[in-house]
Structure 1
Amino acid sequence: MLTTLTSILPIFLIIALGLALRKGGIPSTDFWNLNDKLVYWVLMPCLLFTKISLAPIEAASLGLYSITILGGFVAALLFGLIVPRLAGFSAPPATSILQGSARHNSFIGLAMAANLYGQQGFDIAILATAILVPVTNIVMVVLMVSTLQTRSSGYLPMAILRELARNPYVIAILLAVLVNRFVGDRIPVVHEISDVLGAGALPITLLAVGANLRVRAMAARVMPIVLSFVGKMMVFPLAVLAIGLMVGLPQNVLQIAVVYSVVPTGVSSYTLSKQLGGDAPLMAAIVTVQTLFSAITIPISLALLLPLVGSVTAAVSN
């Protein structure tokens, strides 16, 4: 556990630094607002394109990996859909619980995989991003619109489709898959540019995650925060572990999948909630609480789950 803690501690210290910089007005509030757009439109798409387009993708392993990652997502999604309804929450807070349960912070997952397992871990984790990002964006938008449709204007579904069509992450991943499939090698100039820009994505994004935390939002309602925490920090990783063991995912790949699954919900959940008429203050509270508490829950979860991966896979192979 100590090794895991020391490996991921720098990630959360960088996030804390981002929060401290924003509170200190360094460099300015306007900078952090513009920084979010830079990461969203340029840096992270370049990182996704570079890594996925050059990744050695094996169809068999990728299929089992996809089943495992998407299985965890579906389990958390069902939890986030059913439990709020049973608890009697209205549509806006229910959608916040849904996003808090099933969305993921890819940036923290990628950084953890790299710190714990090096370049191989990062390459495996980037494939999880390629699998989850398009699916998550499409599913969440469709479910939220259908849930909040009484609050939505008639042209909103078409507007959402346009937004999905120009989503930079989705575009970057689709282009990367095409290059990987039909080119299979570096493209001169294109990959040099994406290498340079993508190299700055993770550190800048982690700072931005911290800068976007709203500690005062933690005073919001307790029950929705707890439910989303259970969905994301318990249902999601346990489903990934169970499905990965059932389908026989290789040990090193399953370990990365587990690492990737224990991260908090994505910061972009707040933006989507605000745009579609959800409970944005509650969503901000959920993001903040999960991100802050993940500094404690992630080491504990990995200390419990990763040895289990090794022991079960060893027992199966024997």
Structure 2
Amino acid sequence: MENLVFSVNAVLPVFLVMLLGYILRRREVLTQSFIDVAVTLVFYVSLPAKMFLDVAESDFFAILDGRYVLFLVCATAASFAAAWALGVALVRDKGKIGAFAHCAFRGNFVYIGLPLVQNLLQAEAVPSTVLVVTFVVPLYNVLSVLLLSWYDPSGTRPSPRALAWQVLKNPMILAVLAALPFSFLRLHIPYAAEKAVGYLGSLATPLALLFVGASINLHGFGRDRLGILAAALFKTAAQPLVCVAAAVWLGFNTEQIATVFVTMAVPTALNAYIMTKKMGGDGEMCAGVILASMLLSVITLPGGIWLLRTLAIL
């Protein structure tokens, strides 16, 4: 019973804020224009501020675990390949395979995963999450562009330079790069600047969760229900089950295993819809997978935490 209570308490605050965002959007307290501004503020200001402080105030050499980074990269690439193969096997319409695979492997770690890991480990700063943002999130972008370009009706293919530029211009990657000199040289951030950046970073979690909730569309299933459900189950159940089992077998510590679980179990990223639509993919299927994965994660996230606690892994 204690493990069940802990699991629910770790997840419930995140979903309660998302639920509030959904209610406020339905009551038109949060308008679409506000959501658009909030997304921009969180993506370009608040989250980079948080990442900057997390890296600048830590010893990056101590955080950087090459074996763990290699595992994260390989697990993400393997999930991507498995999602693509599953899409080819299940989805008859070739034009929908890109949307299926994209939404089946790409998780919403930045907006939902970060607060979940903090709640789960009861810590404000979790070193292993810095590695996910630094190495996994850029990999999401690269793999997604390659996948969607493969199925792009226009037949366009991105150049290696364009891919590299897309990764480097990500605000969170820029924040990590800017923070590295402070971490490597153990430079002290002036008190006033540190507090100001801290204030901005503290906005990230509540605003992000509010706009995620406000963006939920309960009419997103449409057709292709079997494919949508398969992609959502892959994202929220199969992917974390396999990757966490591998992490445990390889002997990673509790913090690293918790981060792997959350990284792989969070619902599909909302920006998967935007990128899929922009690159000629099936937006309707993508929206359906996002909604289905969010609904399933209400069960799979606390259920997975309960199982890991019961097995004394966390």
Provide the TM-score with structure 2 as the length reference.
Answer: 0.87
| Paired amino acid for 2:210 | L
DSSP 3-state at the match of 2:252? coil
Match of 2:150 among 141, 146, 151: 146
What's the offset of the Cα at 1:309? 5.6
What's the offset of the Cα at 1:122? 3.4
DSSP 3-state at the match of 1:310? coil
Contact 1:72 1:237 in 2 (8 A): no
Are 2:226 and 1:223 equivalent residues in the alignment? yes
Identify if the C-alpha distance between structure 1 residues 250 and 165 changes in structure 2 by more than 3 Å, giving closer, same or farther.
closer
Unaligned runs of at least 5 residues, structure 1: 312-318
What's the offset of the Cα at 1:178? 4.7
Contact 2:149 2:158 in 1 (8 A): no
Contact 1:217 1:285 in 2 (8 A): yes
DSSP 3-state at the match of 2:22? helix
Identify if the C-alpha distance between structure 1 residues 123 and 154 changes in structure 2 by more than 3 Å, giving closer, same or farther.
closer
Match of 1:184 among 186, 206, 209: 186
Contact 2:25 2:31 in 1 (8 A): yes
Give the equivalent residue in structure 1 for 2:138: 134
Give the equivalent residue in structure 1 for 2:43: 40
| Paired amino acid for 2:186 | G
Give the equivalent residue in structure 2 for 1:299: 302
Give the equivalent residue in structure 2 for 1:310: 313
DSSP 3-state at the match of 1:216? coil
Comparing 226-235 and 201-210, the one that deviates more: 226-235
Identify if the C-alpha distance between structure 1 residues 127 and 306 changes in structure 2 by more than 3 Å, giving closer, same or farther.
farther
Identify if the C-alpha distance between structure 1 residues 225 and 43 changes in structure 2 by more than 3 Å, giving closer, same or farther.
same
DSSP 3-state at the match of 1:110? helix
In the alignment, the residues of structure 1 paired with residue 60 and residue 126 of structure 2 have an alpha-carbon distance, to the nearest angstrom, of 14
Match of 2:262 among 254, 259, 268: 259
In the alignment, the residues of structure 1 paired with residue 125 and residue 52 of structure 2 have an alpha-carbon distance, to the nearest angstrom, of 17
Give the equivalent residue in structure 1 for 2:19: 16
| Paired amino acid for 1:101 | A
1:231-251: CA deviations, max 9, x gaps? 212332123223212322123
In the alignment, the residues of structure 1 paired with residue 283 and residue 295 of structure 2 have an alpha-carbon distance, to the nearest angstrom, of 18
Question: Aligned runs of 1:195-234 on 2, under 5 Å?
Answer: 195-234=198-237
Identify if the C-alpha distance between structure 1 residues 239 and 72 changes in structure 2 by more than 3 Å, giving closer, same or farther.
farther
Contact 1:241 1:309 in 2 (8 A): no
Identify if the C-alpha distance between structure 1 residues 154 and 178 changes in structure 2 by more than 3 Å, giving closer, same or farther.
same
Q: Give the % identical residues.
A: 24
Aligned CA RMSD, in angstroms, stands at: 2.6
In the alignment, the residues of structure 1 paired with residue 43 and residue 279 of structure 2 have an alpha-carbon distance, to the nearest angstrom, of 19
Greater fraction helix = 1
DSSP 3-state at the match of 1:44? helix
Comparing 169-178 and 211-220, the one that deviates more: 169-178
In the alignment, the residues of structure 2 paired with residue 105 and residue 252 of structure 1 have an alpha-carbon distance, to the nearest angstrom, of 19
In the alignment, the residues of structure 1 paired with residue 256 and residue 170 of structure 2 have an alpha-carbon distance, to the nearest angstrom, of 28
Give the equivalent residue in structure 2 for 1:114: 118
Aligned length: 309
Are 2:88 and 1:85 equivalent residues in the alignment? yes
DSSP 3-state at the match of 1:81? helix
1:50-105: CA deviations, max 9, x gaps? 21232334558622322332233123211111111122434442112212221111
